[in-house]
Structure 1
């Protein structure tokens, strides 16, 4: 055999063994991947309630079914012909359901038009008290593809997919834009996109590039720019809550608290956050649930090794979260952080897929099924 032929044969065998070794490494890695395995399962939770159609789209504040019905933080709104077709439901704020119609406009429908109970339990309890609620429907032309929105009185605050922010006066004849600013370009965002937060004389914009832009609603000028984190990808603000004395905000890499001018931080890979009865509850990517005070000091923590946690619901003085790999619900008592584990299944005995479609105050939804934790003893 010639030298050239021997070398060619050796190369072929070397490449073959290289592929075999690579495949073996991949299989070994897959085989060694660990998943959350509870020591004890308390029982089974059956997602035995359903609605008319599966969930088509969702965001942090609401979801839309394939038949056009809506899910809000307060429950389901059956399809109504007034719900605009080919639109995205952004949520409910200031007495209106808010929709984005492509990148051309934002459409507002007063809550009582779709829900007769709205006058008794929503912002527009008396129509004349809120001038913005005086019109049943409004369509506002935009120059952005709106991703999130909030309303207070006659002001509409929007965040666009190009990281632009604007404030629009709903009472002005031509729906005047009172403020507009565009942040740096972003390539990818987390699906939990926070909406602007109105305070007494400020609006706080949770940007797509990891900042809080605070704008005066009197002068419509920026007053402060707070950088939470500076990651290049998936760095949008996923959680925002506050009042006149404190602000809490999080990106997927950091949670911050601003209390009476002082800033505190909690540096973890954040999956989700909820503020409830004076405490913050944070889920992290490595399976930790943390209860934090307003300075972000851990009060209680519970680590679930290898767990992939998603969703936070509160009921019966208990926090419920979903472990997506195994289809478990983890129930944590707020009083002492003791926990119970439940296996989940649908009415056909199948484990739910590895993702919740939407979760609200006390309910988990997936596909066309849901479970209300108020029912769980």
Structure 2
């Protein structure tokens, strides 16, 4: 009996030691800084935008003239059409001051407009398809594997010629032919069982770049290249790809996912990151903002309040927890 108690005590001690051993990024000589503060905070965000508590919407490049209410959140903007949706399956597409509405069985969490009338959508249950506003009906629907947990930075579908690439919530890309409304190809990015949705989807030269929180792939007519890391963020800047990993590393990659430069910031946990005016910005969850050149030979660290909620970068400004930081005012030594 005594040996069992001793064993249990030893296990509990190991557990408590592990819980208390989490280590944090501790930069040398961080620059104390201040931010503009307000009561307007991010209440929801995705890959392409953030919805504020005031109802205004931020994209990566602009503030949209919207005043969202009644539980609606921003989804995407493309070819002049703004897509918003609520958690009850209601969707609105706003263009030229006119609003069209659609109703789905589950909440719409990603979508893009193709042409004037076709909405390519992804629902919360991983169903996806095409809704035709001119017919006021779904003209194509497909049921993908259900998922039970996702990263909130859900990527939106993108169109390439007559194809639309649909980033699903189970780590798969489905390529839909818009003429035949048939799946022409499926590509698995990763097959993890937890938080495995596509969080990044862009075209880089002749390659399709996609990522989940576990892996980046580059797909082209030359085949598929992979870059496997636990990922906090992926940024495409001109023809360069920047990957921010959960172990505090920042990588600069080329189209083939070959590492060009890398830098490790020990124990950093990135909340948000961007590349802006040839400078790399990465915000650690403790509020340390790293500012570096693109090959990581020079950097400075600025100290701001700790990050507690969502964060997003829009048009050279970083927003989180009611804070707004003007990136133009921050450089490196």
Using the size of structure 2 for normalisation, the TM-score is 0.90
Distance 1:300 1:361 in 2: 26
Shift of 1:25: 2.7
Conserved in 2, the CA contact under 8 Å of 1:205 and 1:213?
Answer: yes
Shift of 1:30: 3.6
Shift of 1:332: 1.6
1:143 is aligned to 2:130: no
1:367 alignment counterpart: 321
SS in 1 for 2:195: coil
Within a 5 Å distance, the mapping from 1:185-334 to structure 2 comes to 185-242=146-203, 245-324=206-285, 326-334=286-294
Conserved in 2, the CA contact under 8 Å of 1:259 and 1:294?
Answer: no
Distance 1:190 1:225 in 2: 21
Conserved in 1, the CA contact under 8 Å of 2:308 and 2:321?
Answer: no
Shift of 1:355: 4.7
How big is the alpha-carbon RMSD for the aligned residues of Structure 1 and Structure 2?
2.3
Aligned residues: 330
Cα gap change, 1:335 to 1:96, in 2 (>3 Å): same
Q: 1:167 is matched with which residue: 109, 130, 134? A: 130
Shift of 1:87: 2.0
Higher relative helix content:
1
Q: After superposition, give the CA deviation of every residue in 1:81-118 in whole Å (9 maximum; x if it has no partner).
A: xx4522232132231221113333311122x54xxxxx
Larger-gyration structure (1/2): 1
Q: Structure 2: which 5+ runs fail to align?
A: none
SS in 1 for 2:152: coil
2:25 alignment counterpart: 36
SS in 2 for 1:205: strand
Distance 2:306 2:142 in 1: 42
Shift of 1:180: 1.3
Conserved in 2, the CA contact under 8 Å of 1:67 and 1:79?
Answer: no
